[in-house]
């Protein structure tokens, strides 16, 4: 049961209020029609599923209804940061900020 800091509400809230929304920072192709099936399939279906640092998207469904990002360690479940859409993560698997 995670405690998630909502960057919009400004406080830690219980996991029950949120829904997980998958991997963050996936860039949607600007011109999908120019991609072949393999390239489009990669965008559609393939996800990182890393062991360790993972940037993911959460939805504060029973709260402010905002999507935001979280950097979570998939080993310890520790949430290292949360940040709003448009921002870049400070914690990355390379160890330093971007």
Partner 1 sequence: MSQINRLPTGACTDSSTIINFTFNGKQLQGVAGDTLASALLANGVNVVGRSFKYSRPRGIVGHGAEEPNAIMQIGSGAATVPNLKATQVELYEGLEAASVNGWPSVNFDLMSITGWFGRLMPPGFYYKTFMYPAKLWMTYEHFIRKAAGLGSAPVQEDPDSYDKLNQHCDLLVVGAGPAGLVAAREAARAGARVIIADEQSEFGGSLLASTQRIEGQAATAWVAELVAGLNAFSNVQTLPRSTVFGYYDHNFLGILERRTDHLGISAKLGVRQRLHRVRAKQVILATGAFERPLVFAHNDIPGVMQASSVSTYVNRYGVAPGNRLVLFTTNDNAYQTAIDWHRAGRTLVAVIDSRGAPEGELVTAAKKLGIDVMAGCGVIEAQGGKRVKRALVARLNHDGSQIVGAVQKLDCDLIACSGGWSPAIHLSSHTGAKPVWDEQIVGFKPGESTQQERSVGACGGTYALSACLAEAVLAGAEAAKLAGCGDGNAHFPVSEVEEYQEQPQQALFLVPHTKSTSRAPSQFVDMQLDVSASGIELAVREGFESVEHIKRYTAMGFGTDQGKLGNINGMAILANALGQSIPETGTTIFRPSYTPTTFGAIAGRDIGALFDPERYTPVHRWHEEQGAEFEDVGQWKRSWYFPRSGESMDDAVNRECLAVRNSLGILDASTLGKIDIQGPDAAEFVTRMYSNSYLKLAPGKCRYGVMLKEDGMIFDDGVCACLADNHYLMFTTTGGAAGVLAWLELWQQTEWPDLKVYFTSVTDHWSTATISGPNARKALAKVCDDIDLSSDGFQFMDWRDGTVAGVKARVFRISFTGELSYEVNVPAQYGRPIWEALMAAGEEFDITPYGTESMHVLRAEKGFIIVGQDTDGSMTPADMNMDWVVGKNKSFSFVGKRSLERSDSVRENRKQLVGLKTIEGAQVLTEGAQVVFDAQQKIPMSMQGHVTSSYFSSNLGHSIALAVVKGGHSRMGQVVYCPMADGRIIAAEIVDSVFYDAKGERQHV
Partner 2 sequence: MSSKAENINSESPLKYFHKLSNHQRHSDSAEIFNGDVEFALVIKEAPICAHLNLRGDGADKSFTDGIAKVLGIALPTEPGTYQSCQQHSLFWLGPDEWLLVSQGNAAEIEVSLRQVLAGHIAIVDISGGQTMINLRGTDMAVQTVLKKSSVYDFAGWPGASGNAGRCAQTTFAKASAVVSNKSDGSFDLIIRRSFADYIARWLLDAGEEFGCRIEG
Residue 87 lies near partner 2 (rule: CB under 8 A): no
- 73 pairs with which residues across the strands? 53
Q: What are phi and psi of 41, to 5 degrees?
A: -65, -40
Residue 92 lies near partner 1 (rule: CB under 8 A): no
Burial 2-27 (b: 16+ CB within 10 A, else e): bebebbeeeeebeeebbeeeeebeee
Interacting partner of 21 out of partner 2, partner 1, none (Cβ under 5 to 8 A depending on kind): partner 1
H or E element that contains 6? strand 3-6
Task: Pick out residues in 43-72 that bind partner 1 (CB under 8 A).
Answer: 44-45, 57, 59, 61, 65-67
Q: Which residues bind partner 1 (CB under 8 A)?
A: 1-3, 14, 19, 21, 28, 31-33, 35, 37, 40-41, 44-45, 57, 59, 61, 65-67, 76-79, 85-86
Interface residues with partner 2 (CB under 8 A) are 8-11, 13-14, 16-17, 62-66
């Amino acid at each position: 049961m995670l405690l998630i800091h909502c960057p919009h509400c400004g406080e830690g809230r219980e996991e029950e209020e949120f829904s997980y929304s998958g991997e963050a920072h996936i860039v949607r192709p600007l011109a999908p029609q120019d991609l072949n099936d393999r390239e489009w399939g990669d965008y559609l279906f393939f996800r990182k599923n890393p062991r360790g640092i993972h940037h993911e998207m959460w939805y504060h469904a029973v709260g402010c209804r905002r999507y935001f990002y979280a950097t979570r360690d998939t080993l310890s479940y520790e949430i290292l940061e949360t940040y709003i859409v448009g921002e870049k993560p400070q914690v990355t698997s390379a160890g330093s900020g971007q």
